[in-house]
Structure 1
């Protein structure tokens, strides 16, 4: 059978193409996509196509490149299996596949979605474990303080998790007022509209002059690290969860040595030994549970919904300016 798929055929060019889809083999399932979430930061970097040599980006992004990693759909066929199948036809599942209408995936990579959650909610599953992995490595304690720089989709989820943890102060820093208003409704106790370069007085004000325990750089932009380093207290932490395509342009400041700041890099679901039990599927299931309990709400994070056929104009628009977006979806059901 044939299916539609979004493809970056070359640098800064997106197309919708037709691809062949094989029948599912043993241990595989054919999934018909309902919703796929655009990871606006990552996918815009992939679309732009400019990376430092020797980076993960150089090895990963090769044109033609299939973007996307957070889709939800229904199982429409299951390959031959010995014993009872772990997924059933008609079941809604999440897996990290691309923006395409159908995909064959190993059943081991599929996470069943509870019946009381929507495809739109489940489409955040990949970002849910990426951000959850970062928050776990923040090593927070009750009554602690944190700063989140960059309130795009990633920063919004980090803020929600920090709100669940019960921190005393969750401070959000961004240049876009609308994103700060969203963060204030979902976990942020204080917001600062402006550059992180000017945020130190704000952080001092909300931490009794002590600065923050943990600062999250959720921007993925090389210029932010030196702006984040002055904001944690002595022996505090800066958590990098945005993968800059230009790490050679990131610079340290004297804070690293003189105030003994710890910098922690996090990437996808890779976890240190003390957190190894929290695999991606376990973190996704916890995310679903928080949604069911009402501890986290994400429906209002969806700012744009598009037909996949509009992908060329969607990516060009995001490339030019994504500041007015948060959750951008492709709806494959239309």
Structure 2
């Protein structure tokens, strides 16, 4: 029996996000239906609305979510009805060349549900990041569900489903920040602030937050920044070098994803340092760097995919750190809103006045 539920849909590029009736099918083999509890309003959802991800409209928005499994399909053994879960967009296949090399965090063939959710007239919906969580119930591949405990605040831990995990993972997994190292993070939105929290968790002793907004820089201190740089008022490369003995940071994380900020990251790192790109560029952006500088500065230039995380490993570990008081996930939840508030939350995101709005159902 299919389910008729309410979900947030955007029908065409730059159209408003509206609440629509969505038909969710019974789960097929390897699939699960999940009752959504919370879903963070992530910048990626706004990118979908703006046509920056693809033109596969209409989209069912939302992906940074917690929920409770309400039905499972044939062959599903890793989760059961009643389980409380975080949804993820890295359902490891176990068979691709990355998995075969023992690197499932890079799985190149992650699973989504085979069936499609639809509008009442039968129009198939594209679920954001294969999840579609601004909805009362959603259909996902069972591997997209990571079981969690019952005690933690769903709104807080659900943010591990995307943005917070991307930032923390950019520091810990991709950047491999070590105890005593220096880290600079360019861009202090949700992902950048999470990278700062990740650097602190990893034991960095100098953590430099860079942004053009003083309020964001002040907020970054709460999550572990030891120094701040307003790049509207001073050259961030020179400032980062000055704060690291004239050398540059061991790791510089670009959480903006623009050519200008990437160049800042490139030149603000120490010799043999690491640059991590976790901010998402748009398709038209181009980067030019002198190849001799790329060679001469050594080190590594890395891109971070979802914080290079393995949900089955990282979610539980980070929730434990949260429960121990070492990771302030609660601090990322700026406001709690309803399904009908998604469009307003997008506007606040553009204003830079929230870390995360979280939809509660």
Q: TM-score range by the shorter chain?
A: 0.7 to 0.9
Q: Tell me the CA shift for residue 100 of structure 1.
A: 1.6
Equivalent residues in 2 for 1:115-134, closer than 5 Å: 115-127=150-162, 128-134=164-170
1:58-77 equivalences under 5 Å are 60-77=54-71
Q: CA deviation at 1:79?
A: 4.1
Instruction: Indicate if the aligned counterparts of 1:170 and 1:188 stay in contact, CA closer than 8 A.
Output: yes
Aligned position for 2:191: 154
Deviations 1:57-110 (A, max 9, x none): 3xx44221223221111223344568xx54343332111322221013333321
Per-residue deviation, 1:299: 1.0
Residues 176-209 of structure 1, C-alpha deviations (whole Å, 9 max, x = no match): 2222222211211111123497113321232122
Question: What's the offset of the Cα at 1:27?
Answer: 4.4
1:327 aligns with 2:329: no
Q: Distance in 1 between matches of 2:303 and 2:61?
A: 23
Q: Give the structure 2 partner of residue 24 of structure 1.
A: 27
> Is the 8 Å Cα contact of residues 65 and 158 (structure 2) preserved in structure 1?
yes
Gaps of 5+ in 1: 51-56, 271-277
State the secondary structure of the residue aligned to 2:35.
strand
User: Could you tell me whether the CA contact under 8 Å between 2:39 and 2:158 is conserved in 1?
Assistant: yes
Distance 2:83 2:272 in 1: 48
1:246 aligns with 2:283: yes
Match for residue 104 of structure 1 among 139, 144, 150: 139
Query: Does the CA contact (< 8 Å) of 1:160 and 1:296 recur in 2?
Result: yes
Task: Note if contact 1:36-1:329 (Cα within 8 Å) is conserved in structure 2.
Answer: yes
Q: Structure 2 length normalisation: TM-score?
A: 0.79
For residue 7 of structure 2, what is the aligned residue in structure 1? 5
* Corresponding residue SS for 2:271: strand
Q: 1:1-334 to 2 correspondence within 5 Å?
A: 1-13=3-15, 14-40=17-43, 42-50=44-52, 57=53, 60-79=54-73, 85-96=77-88, 97-98=131-132, 99-127=134-162, 128-135=164-171, 136-195=173-232, 198-246=235-283, 248-252=285-289, 255-260=293-298, 262-268=300-306, 270=308, 279-315=310-346, 317-318=347-348, 321-332=350-361
CA distance in 2, matches of 1:17, 1:92: 26
Residues of 1 paired with 2:277 and 2:141: CA distance? 31
CA deviation vs aligned residue, 1:273-306 (integer Å, no higher than 9, x gap): xxxxx62221112111111111101212212322
**Distance of aligned partners of 1:247 and 1:169 in 2 relative to their CA distance in 1, 3 Å threshold:** farther
- Stretches of structure 2 that go unaligned for 5 or more consecutive residues are 89-130
Matched pairs, number: 312
TM-score w.r.t. length of structure 1: 0.84
Mapped to 2, the partners of 1:151 and 1:100 lie a distance apart of 29
- Distance apart, 1:6 and its partner CA: 1.5
1:263/1:91 CA distance change after superposition, 3 Å: same
